[in-house]
Amino acid sequence: MDMALKAAISVTFKDLPWFILCCMPFVPLRKFERSAIAVRILLVSSLSFLIIYVGTLVLAGDNILLLNVIHMMTYPPMLLIFHRTFRAGWSKIFYVFLFEQSIATEVNLLSYFLTTEVLEKNPSVTNNLWQLFSSYLILLVVFPLSWFFLKGPIRQAMVILTEKQVKTLCVTPLIFFLMINYYTVAFQQSSLTEGHRILFSLFFTAIGISAYAVNVITTMSIVKKGKLELAMVSMEQQLMRQSDHFEQLNSSISQARQARHDLRHHLTVMRNYINEENYLGLKQYLEDYLTDVPKENEAPICRNFAVDVLISNYLALARQVGTKLDVKIDLPARVGIPDTQLCIVFGNLVENALHACQEQATGDKFIRIRCRTEGKQILLAMDNSTDRKEAIHPGVGLSSIEAVVERYQGSFEYQLEEGIFRASLLLCIP
């Protein structure tokens, strides 16, 4: 077996377990079935084999350092394939790659130590199969531990954390990745013994892995706490809205009870008009009575009862301050997203619009809402007038909306433009 083929087989089989592990954090975010993901893993492995084989064949030489440089050429296509396979941004894929790279480096260092010191074999490209054997011995312990950690905390982090938060987390592993590669080259020129080099690299890499784990777990705990506090605030807002609706309901019941009580008196008066055959008086009395009768409620704004009640309450208050309303909402009674989540979105947007109109001192006041469902998506656009001039910074309401949007893999944009607050939102129905 020639040197290039032996090197390609050795590196490909060493990488295969890490390709499988790399999928674990993104299984809930996959775009395809598991069988299709398995095909992509084989594609990545075949691509890695081809690059190593051709690279070693062209740049012939029994050099481990050269082999590592060629191996790094497999990273960009590998990251691209994983990005196309999962609904995850580049930062999340890059973070998992760096995390696994550090563990793989630790395993390679240990296998190098086992090959040279215990088995007393030369870890050159031509004898690289001995290091492959050592790597798989170490993986018997490392692989299950990595599996559970990537399937547990890391998977949870990739679902909970935003792309921006993970991008910040990438700084630490990227620095360690660059440093370990720098020291790998620098140690070749140093006067340290090989044993000291391996021990230092093992220690340095272990610090990096610990830092990654602590950072991601700590960040995830902070984000969870923040989301819990946000959920509590949203729940309090919903309770306040329900309290307002309950008061309105009590008021309506009291009015109905009073109307029933008064109806007996009206019927007595009308009976007397009939007995006296005073039909002109009866007609006038009926016209006066109908003028005082409360008007029927307007048609529902949408078919979703919770959203309809919530929006109707705010729009009634907006109408009292002279706000022009232009509302068209096509939202089914059951849309696949819980009413509590829909109320967070609609409630906060319309409540903010109401407050803007109540505080507006100049110009025409208006609220314009358009909402429709298309396939597995809810599309919402809303404009409202405002006197506000300064830039908008997200408060509790907008942050609550962003949390719902993130949960349902949507998008949310808003801007202040010449006295108009514009918001557009998309939610993906599970």
Are residue 242 and residue 213 in the same domain, yes or no? no
Closest CA to 373 of 332, 423, 422: 332
Q: How would residue 85 be classed by pLDDT, with cut points 50, 70 and 90?
A: confident
What percent of the chain is predicted at pLDDT more than 70?
76
Residue 398 reports pLDDT greater than 90: no
The residue ranking higher by pLDDT, 383 or 185, is 383
Q: Is the distance from CB of 312 to CB of 304 less than 8 angstroms?
A: no
Q: Which long-range contacts (CB under 8 A, 24 or more apart) does 140-145 make?
A: 142/103, 142/106, 142/107, 143/17, 143/21
Please report whether residue 300 resides in a domain: no
pTM for the model: 0.49
For residue 400, is it within any domain? yes
Q: Which two tokens stand for residue 384?
A: 């409202």
Residues 6+ apart with CB under 8 A from 93: 26, 79, 82, 83, 86
Nearest 5°: CA angle at 402, between 400 and 407?
Answer: 100
* pLDDT recorded at residue 325: 92
Residue 268, in any domain of the structure: yes
Residue 292: predicted pLDDT: 64
Look at residue 366 and tell me whether its pLDDT is greater than 90: yes
**Same domain for 285 and 271:** yes
What's the start-to-end Cα distance of the chain, in Å? 52
Stretch 169-175: mean pLDDT, rounded? Answer: 80
Is 367's pLDDT higher than 90? yes
Same domain, 132 and 190: yes
Closest CA to 382 of 343, 338, 317, 426: 426
* Stronger pLDDT, 73 or 230, i.e. the higher one: 73
- pLDDT of 126 > 50? The answer is no
Q: What is the pLDDT of residue 371?
A: 93
Which of 77-81, 362-366, 387-391, 396-400 is predicted most confidently? Answer: 362-366
Instruction: Give the relative orientation of helices 171-189 and 194-275 as an angle to the nearest 10 degrees.
Output: 170
> pLDDT tens digits, residue range 27-36?
777 777 778 8
Residue 241 shares a structural domain with residue 326: no
Secondary structure element (H or E) that encloses residue 135, with its range = helix 128-149
pLDDT at 309: 82
Please check whether residues 218 and 360 belong to one and the same domain.
no
Do 238 and 153 fall into the same domain? no
Q: What pLDDT digit, counting tens, does each position of 264-314 carry?
A: 777 888 888 888 888 888 888 888 777 765 554 456 788 888 888 888 888
Greater confidence (44 vs 193) lies with 44
| pLDDT-based confidence at residue 365 (cuts at 50, 70, 90) | very high
**pLDDT of amino acid 188:** 57
Is pLDDT of 238 > 70? no
Are the beta carbons of 82 and 105 closer than 8 angstroms? no
Quick: pLDDT tens for 58-68: 765 555 556 66
Model confidence at 47: pLDDT above 60: yes
- Are 274 and 403 in the same domain? no
Residue 416 token pair: 């202040």
Return the structure tokens found at 299. Answer: 């048609």
Span 408-430, average pLDDT = 88
Q: What is the mean pLDDT of residues 84-93?
A: 82
Contact 103, 143 (CB under 8 A): no
Domain that holds residue 288: 233-292
Of 232, 247, 282, the one marking the end of a domain is 232
The structure tokens 């905390």 sit at 153
Do both 72 and 213 map to the same domain?
yes
Domain assignment present for residue 378? The answer is: yes
The H or E element containing residue 374 is strand 366-374
CA torsion sign for 256, 261, 264, 267 is negative
Please report the pLDDT score of residue 362 as a whole number.
85
The answer on 95 and 239 residing in a single domain is: no
Distances (CA, A) of 55 to 10, 66, 81, 182: 14, 9, 21, 22
pLDDT tens for 321-360 read 999 999 999 988 888 888 888 888 998 899 889 989 999 9
The count of residues in the chain is 430
**What does the pLDDT read at residue 76?**
82
Which of 92, 88, 78 has its CA nearest to residue 31? 88
Mean pLDDT of 168-194: 70
CATH number for the domain spanning 337: value is 3.30.565.10
Within a domain: residue 297? no
Is 369 strand, coil or helix?
strand
Coil/strand/helix, residue 427:
strand
Band (pLDDT 50/70/90 cuts) for residue 118 is low
The residue from 204, 232, 260 where one domain ends is 232
* DSSP 8-state assignment for residue 86: B
Q: Tell me the CA distances in angstroms from 220 to 121, 217, 225, 351, one per residue in order.
A: 44, 5, 9, 31
Q: For the stretch 281-316, what's the b/e string if a residue is b when 16 or more beta carbons lie within 10 angstroms of its beta carbon?
A: ebeebeeeeeeeeeeeeeeebbebebbbbbbbbbbe
CA 344/CA 398 separation, integer angstroms: 10
Residues 215, 77 share a domain: yes
- Over residues 381-409, the mean pLDDT reads 82
User: What does the pLDDT read at residue 1?
Assistant: 47
- Report how many domains make up the chain: 3
Q: Which of 81, 108, 207, 209 is nearest to 149 (CA)?
A: 209
- Banded model confidence at residue 189, pLDDT cuts 50, 70, 90: low
181 within a domain of the structure (yes/no): yes
- Is 165 a member of any domain? yes
pLDDT band at 162 (very low <50, low <70, confident <90, very high): confident
Q: CB-hemisphere CA count at 13 Å for 302?
A: 27
299 inside domain:
no
Are 240 and 141 found together in one domain?
Answer: no
222 with 242, same domain: the answer is: no
User: 203, 232, 261 — which closes off a domain?
Assistant: 232
Q: For position 380, what pLDDT does the model report?
A: 92
Residue 376: what pLDDT?
Answer: 86
**423 vs 118, more confident:** 423
